[in-house]
Amino acid sequence: MTLDTRRRRLVKEDLIYGPLVSRRLGRSLGVNLLGAGDKVCSFNCRYCQCGWTTQPIRPDIESVVELPSCTQVAEALKARLQGLHRERVLIDAITFSGNGEPTLHPELQAIVDAASGLRDSYAPNAKLAMLSNSSTIHRPEVRAALQGIDLKLMKLDAGTEKLARRINLPAPGWDFATMLQGLATLNGVILQTMFVWGRAANTAPSAIREWSDRVAEIRPRGVHIYTLDRVPADSGVRPVAREILGSIAEYAHKRTHVPIEVY
């Protein structure tokens, strides 16, 4: 199997996928708002498991790509939840993730509302979760939609703009200070941070200190840290040893007093 083939297999073909067992979310039913095929994202992270972003989307304006409509998403989610309900399969989370950045969807609020209603009807114990790269967090419509999300898992991979740009390769229109401000003023944020070695490594002592200081400023509910476990877009990026993740968590917790979990 070539690397390209393996990457392609990680791009979701379906609107609804799973449930998959996730260490962070338990039995999680995935909702891919970005359609099949190429990923739709405002970032081009070197470690991305979906390969490179061919046409990065500006995070400060509406997405112009064609995406599944709210009606299509709601119908697909309803059908899947009804099936799981009939089969008495319990799920812990309904998670917006998939081929890119879900908050770029122009009907995000309506989709979250529909998912919330369906969750209440068919899986009342499941949490609504969103995996976001945080690039759109300043947009009022995105912030409003996130109010309906129980687990807001927001990306922060570095404590400085320079290093974040090297890791995440954001599209034009992204602003680090604006993103930090948005994260610090949204309730219930859980930060997620990917640590990598090799090209654009973010594990130097100065990088960990600066990242910890941003965590302290944001004051999230918690932080999830992890490393690569799949083929990255950039072959020059490598996973970090697990004991290093443990040391980072210990240091950052002492410096910030925020719960830091290693995944």
The gap from C-alpha 118 to its chain's centroid, in whole angstroms, comes to 22
CA-atom Rg of the chain in angstroms: 18
Distance CA 140, CA 144 (A): 6
Query: Is residue 43 a contact point for ligand SF4 (CB under 6 A)?
Result: yes
Burial class (CB in 10 A: 0-12, 13-18, 19+), 48: buried
In this structure, which long-range contacts are made by residues 3-9, counting pairs with CB atoms below 8 Å and at least 24 apart in sequence? 3/231, 3/235, 4/51, 6/231, 7/49, 7/50, 7/51, 7/231, 7/233, 8/51
The residue count for the chain: 263
| Min separation Cβ 247 and ligand SF4, Å | 24
Query: Is residue 41 a contact point for ligand SF4 (CB under 6 A)?
Result: yes
In the set 32, 95, 133, 212, which binds ligand SF4 (CB under 6 A)? Answer: 133
Query: Is residue 39 a contact point for ligand SF4 (CB under 6 A)?
Result: yes
| Min separation Cβ 162 and ligand SF4, Å | 18
| Min separation Cβ 133 and ligand SF4, Å | 4
Compare residues 7 and 119 and give the one whose CB is closer to ligand SF4: 7
Contacting range for ligand SF4; rule: CB under 6 A; set: 25-33, 43-51, 80-88, 106-114: 43-51
254: CB partners within 8 A, 6+ apart? none
Query: Is residue 53 a contact point for ligand SF4 (CB under 6 A)?
Result: yes
SS3 101: coil
| Min separation Cβ 121 and ligand SF4, Å | 30
| Min separation Cβ 77 and ligand SF4, Å | 21
Distance CA 145, CA 213 (A): 28
245 half-sphere exposure, CB direction, 13 A CA radius: 20
In the set 15, 16, 28, 44, which binds ligand SF4 (CB under 6 A)? Answer: 44
Structure-token pair, residue 64: 């112009």
- Find the binding residues for ligand SF4 in span 64-83 (CB under 6 A): none
- Find the binding residues for ligand SF4 in span 93-132 (CB under 6 A): 100-101
Task: Say how many residues touch ligand SF4, by CB under 6 A.
Answer: 11
Compare residues 48 and 218 and give the one whose CB is closer to ligand SF4: 48
Query: Is residue 32 a contact point for ligand SF4 (CB under 6 A)?
Result: no
Footprint on this chain of ligand SF4 (rule: CB under 6 A): 39, 41, 43-45, 48, 50, 53, 100-101, 133
